[in-house]
Amino acid sequence: MAAIVIDRVRKSYGALTVLKDFSLDIADGEFVVLVGPSGCGKSTMLKILAGLEAASAGTIRIGGRDVTDLAPGDRDIAMVFQNYALYPHLTVASNMGFGLKMRGTPADEIARRVGEAARILDVEHLLERRPRQLSGGQRQRVALGRAIVREPQAFLMDEPLSNLDAKLRVHMRAEIGALHQRLGVTTIYVTHDQIEAMTMANRIVIIKDGEIQQIADPETMFERPANQFVAGFIGSPGMNFLTARAEQGVAQLFGTSVPVPPGADGAITVGLRPEHIEAGDGPVTFVARPNLVESLGSEKYIYFAAPEDNRPPGFLTRSEEDRRGDRLIARLINSGPIRIGEPVTLSFDPARLHVFDPASGRAIR
């Protein structure tokens, strides 16, 4: 177990820069999730951490040791791959013991550690099978087992759940979380799924175009996003964005004056989460005509058009088709029956609003 320091790591392929001065301090035993849209550089960062790719600049320290120029095998880390990378010609036990065997560990020691890992992951009955005889979830467990028998300084996980079906993914998510609690090994986990990030991480690192957008615990990430990208990335369904003009600390929203932070002046982008809109009267009340209602049983998603003066950012630059489909979403719990086209009274608390600078996207507080 060890702390990991990533110091101004840069990676470019010719003229293309995929990571720009990436710096991150990870505490011993922490579970850090790197999350971002595909192509943002998160997997590249993980490969650089593992030593599978070389950084163009910067240093990496694991447990105080500079590993920047060390081979992957000398970094004392274990990695779990998206496709598990289990060797088809070896049994589960040999797969799990492979790393130890490569390091010349005595056979009885390997057997003992593989047995222990198999017990932790509940795959003892599978040890003599081949990977192709296992289900997706079992393969996933074996891949985790291969990582834990090594007793490494850190686990690196590259989208380990993306090949599982939705139900199993939820299950394995909890299992990986429990495993981390139990072993307390520093874990760096890469995913494009913000729900995985929110549910598993001690800290989330949101990356876009090779740059860190925000580093925070899940709660802060949700409550106080640093910019519009983070605000839109975290949360499902995504945050609603509206345009407004701020003058002397006040902006007009849905025909009502709402207070905005003092730093906001002129054109602003206002963010409002679907779950912060409620049915019935409240501090700011308005009437909407739903153009689509999705009922999920316990909750309803109401889609409706934004008022003329508060069209979402970029509204006019979109195609005719896009503009017609332009919708705000409210997520209502325990509302009465709601029908398409019939007026419904909705409200929100202006304290819940997020205000962003439309040019830079930065949050204004």
Partner 1 sequence: MAGGRFSLDLARPSRQHWLGYVLLTPAVLLIAAIIVYPLFVSIDLSFQNVGIARLDQPRRPFTLANYERLFSSPDFWNACWVTLKLILVVTSACCVLGLATALLVNNRFRGRSVARLLVAMPWAVPEVIAVVIFAWIFDSSFGLMNWVFLSLGFIDRTINWFSDPDAAFAVVATTMIWKGYPFVSIMSLAGLQSIPEDYYSAARVDGANALQRLRFITLPSLMPVIGVTTVLVMLWIFRDFSIIYVLTGGGPLKATQTLSIMTYEQAFSFFRMGYASAVGVVTLVICVVAAKLTMRRAPDTL
The footprint of partner 1 (CB under 8 A) covers 47, 50-52, 71-74, 77-79, 81-83, 85, 87-90, 98-99, 102-103, 132, 146, 150
Nearer residue to partner 1 within complex by CB, 98 or 241: 98
The count of other CB atoms within 10 Å of the CB of residue 182 is: 10
Q: In whole angstroms, how close is the CB of 231 to partner 1 at the nearest point?
A: 35
Nearer to partner 1, 81 or 315 (CB): 81
Strand pairing category for 203-208 and 65-66: unpaired
Please, what is the minimum distance in Å from the beta carbon of residue 289 to partner 1? Answer: 52
Structure tokens at 94: 């040999």
- The set of residues, in sequence order, having a beta carbon less than 8 Å from that of 353 and lying 6+ positions away, is 253, 258, 260, 270, 271, 272
The CA distances from residue 22 to 2, 49, 204, 220, 331, in Å, are: 19, 12, 14, 21, 36
Least distance to partner 1 from the beta carbon of 89, Å? 4
| Nearer to partner 1 among residue 129 and residue 352 (C-beta) | 129
Decide if 267 contacts 332 (C-beta within 8 A): no
Query: Amino acid identity of 22?
Result: F
Tokens 């993914």 locate to 169
Q: Which is nearer to partner 1, 41 or 312 (CB)?
A: 41
> Least distance from C-beta 160 to partner 1, angstroms?
12
CB of 235 to partner 1, least distance (A): 32
If you count them, how many residues does the chain have? 365
Helix residue ranges per DSSP H, the chain? 42-50, 92-102, 107-121, 136-149, 166-183, 194-200, 218-223, 228-233, 320-324
Min dist. Cβ of residue 173 to partner 1 (A):
22
Residue (176 or 302) nearer to partner 1, CB: 176
Structural tokens at position 122: 């509940």
Question: In the complex with partner 1, which residue's Cβ is closer, 159 or 357?
Answer: 159
Shortest separation between residue 77's beta carbon and partner 1, angstroms = 7
Please say whether the beta carbons of 208 and 229 come within 8 A. Answer: yes
* Nearer of residues 59 and 163 to partner 1, judged by Cβ: 163
